[in-house]
């Protein structure tokens, strides 16, 4: 490794206690929402994080940004350990990492105009004289493709796609180095989705922003990301260059996930082999022993219930956690 990664996540864990009882609260179980995740990101890289609901992808995103406590592990951003920061230090550091949420209808304050929302973000981290604010806000709006004409408008006067642009502008207001976008296009229609994807890709290129793009939609993730990480029950089961993971998935779960993505091409649809997984993902409160995917895996053997698989590669940059990796690929 020539230089240390820009963002280093080492063995990050977020466990939630499950408690019972009113007077004497007893912890009866632990939900291991994020269970030992390690990742390295280069500066300017876009990492796609995919997985189904409940797999812990949003929790991971929030744990990295300290919106949720990490119960173990470290997150090092530009040489500083975020998990150890407290109080004023943490607040100051937050200017370096920002989040864009899924629902642009819920993440903007309905009583604040675009100007108010963006000015607040600017003033809270890198204050500028009041007279400069309108120009700064207008710059931000232009950057995300909104006309500064709308500077005094309220969120309800915008469409979903425009609101998501405002949310992106607000994240950019503090000139962050890392953006975590949690399902930023899931609430939008296809034609609007494309606009936001283009915008995020462009910003990342131009500002060399490091980005973690969380989505359940593999085809969107494949399009925008340099690398893809696939999560299942709190763990990363496969990691590799976006094209490889999508075209030649190695982990059984990724294979099933890719085969389940509907393709808007009737001929390919008719030809392809679908892997239909039995059942639902198990509860993270009580994950299966060994490989947590084994009860639904078409390739499972008795071993799978005993051994916790580790990240392995077949020589290339793509890695996956499966003890039968060589046999099934």
Partner 1 sequence: MPLLDVQHLTTSFHTREGIVRAVRDVSFQLDKGQTLGIVGESGSGKSVTCYSLLGLLPQPPARIEAGTARFDQTDLLHCSRQELRSLRGKRVAMIFQDPMTSLNPYLRIGDQLIEPLLIHENMDRKEALGRGIRALEEVGIQDAERRMRGYPHEFSGGMRQRVMIAMALITRPDLLIADEPTTALDVTVQAQILELIKKMQHDLGMAVILVSHDLGVVAGFCDQVQVMYAGRIAETARTGDIFHHPQHPYSLALQKSIPALQPKGAELYTIPGMPPDLSRDVPGCPFAPRCEFAEDPCRTADIQLKPVRTGHASACVRVQQGELNLQTIHA
Which residue ranges make up the site for partner 1 (CB under 8 A)? 52-53, 159, 161, 189-191, 193-195, 197-198, 201, 216-220, 222-224, 242-243, 256-257, 259-267, 269-270, 274, 276-277, 280-281
- We find the least distance from the C-beta atom of residue 213 to partner 1, in angstroms, to be 12
Nearest residue to 213 via CA among 183, 249, 176, 171: 183
Measured CA distances, 271 to 44, 88, 171, 219 (Å) = 38, 58, 43, 19
Nearest residue to 159 via CA among 145, 171, 142: 145
- We find the least distance from the C-beta atom of residue 145 to partner 1, in angstroms, to be 10
Nearer to partner 1, 114 or 185 (CB): 185
Nearer to partner 1, 78 or 243 (CB): 243
Nearer to partner 1, 132 or 189 (CB): 189
Nearer to partner 1, 11 or 219 (CB): 219
Angle at which helix 114-125 crosses helix 133-143, to 10 degrees, equals: 110
- We find the least distance from the C-beta atom of residue 131 to partner 1, in angstroms, to be 34
- Residue 27 CA to residue 83 CA, distance in Å, equals 24
- We find the least distance from the C-beta atom of residue 256 to partner 1, in angstroms, to be 6
CA angle 211, 308, 277 (to 5 degrees): 75
Measured CA distances, 108 to 103, 148, 162 (Å) = 9, 18, 12
Nearer to partner 1, 88 or 190 (CB): 190
Nearer to partner 1, 101 or 213 (CB): 213
Cβ atoms < 10 Å from Cβ of 296: 18
- We find the least distance from the C-beta atom of residue 118 to partner 1, in angstroms, to be 22
- We find the least distance from the C-beta atom of residue 11 to partner 1, in angstroms, to be 27
Nearer to partner 1, 148 or 241 (CB): 241
- We find the least distance from the C-beta atom of residue 218 to partner 1, in angstroms, to be 7
Nearer to partner 1, 90 or 260 (CB): 260
- We find the least distance from the C-beta atom of residue 260 to partner 1, in angstroms, to be 4
Q: What order of strands is seen across the sheet that includes strand 72-77?
A: 26-41, 7-20, 72-77, 80-81
Could you tell me where the DSSP H helices lie in 73-189?
87-93, 114-125, 133-143, 160-172
CB 9 within 8 A of CB 39: yes
- Residue 21 CA to residue 234 CA, distance in Å, equals 27
Q: What are the φ and ψ backbone dihedral angles of 301, each rounded to 5 degrees?
A: -130, 175
- From the number of C-beta atoms within 10 Å of its C-beta (0-12, 13-18, 19+), residue 283 rates as exposed
């Amino acid at each position: 490794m020539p230089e240390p990664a820009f963002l280093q996540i080492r063995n990050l864990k977020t466990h939630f206690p499950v408690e019972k009882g009113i007077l004497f609260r007893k912890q009866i179980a632990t939900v291991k929402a994020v269970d030992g995740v390690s990742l390295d990101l280069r500066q300017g890289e876009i990492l796609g994080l995919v997985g189904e609901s409940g797999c812990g992808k949003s929790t991971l995103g929030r744990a990295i940004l300290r919106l949720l406590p990490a119960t173990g592990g470290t997150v090092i951003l530009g040489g500083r350990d975020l998990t150890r920061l407290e109080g004023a230090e943490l607040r100051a550091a937050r200017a370096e990492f920002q989040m864009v949420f899924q629902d642009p209808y819920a993440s903007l304050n309905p009583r604040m105009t675009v100007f108010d929302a963006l000015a607040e973000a600017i003033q809270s981290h890198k204050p500028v004289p009041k007279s400069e604010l309108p120009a700064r806000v207008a710059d931000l709006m232009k950057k995300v493709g909104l006309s500064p004409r709308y500077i005094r408008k309220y969120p309800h006067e915008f469409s979903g796609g425009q609101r998501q642009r405002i949310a992106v502008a607000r994240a950019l207001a503090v000139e962050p180095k890392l953006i975590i976008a949690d399902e930023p296009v899931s609430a939008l229609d296809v034609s609007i989705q494309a606009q936001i994807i283009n915008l995020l890709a462009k910003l990342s290129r131009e500002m060399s922003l490091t980005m973690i793009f969380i989505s359940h939609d593999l085809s969107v993730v494949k399009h925008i990301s340099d690398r893809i990480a696939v999560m299942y029950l709190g763990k990363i089961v496969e990691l590799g260059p976006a094209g490889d993971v999508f075209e030649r998935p190695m982990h059984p779960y990724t294979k099933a996930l890719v085969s389940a993505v509907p393709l808007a091409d009737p001929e390919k649809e008719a030809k392809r082999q679908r892997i239909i997984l039995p059942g639902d993902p198990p509860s993270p409160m009580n994950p299966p022993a060994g490989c947590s995917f084994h009860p639904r895996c078409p390739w499972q053997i008795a071993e799978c219930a005993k051994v916790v698989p580790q990240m392995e590669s077949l020589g290339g940059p793509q890695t996956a956690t499966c003890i039968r990796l060589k046999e099934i690929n």
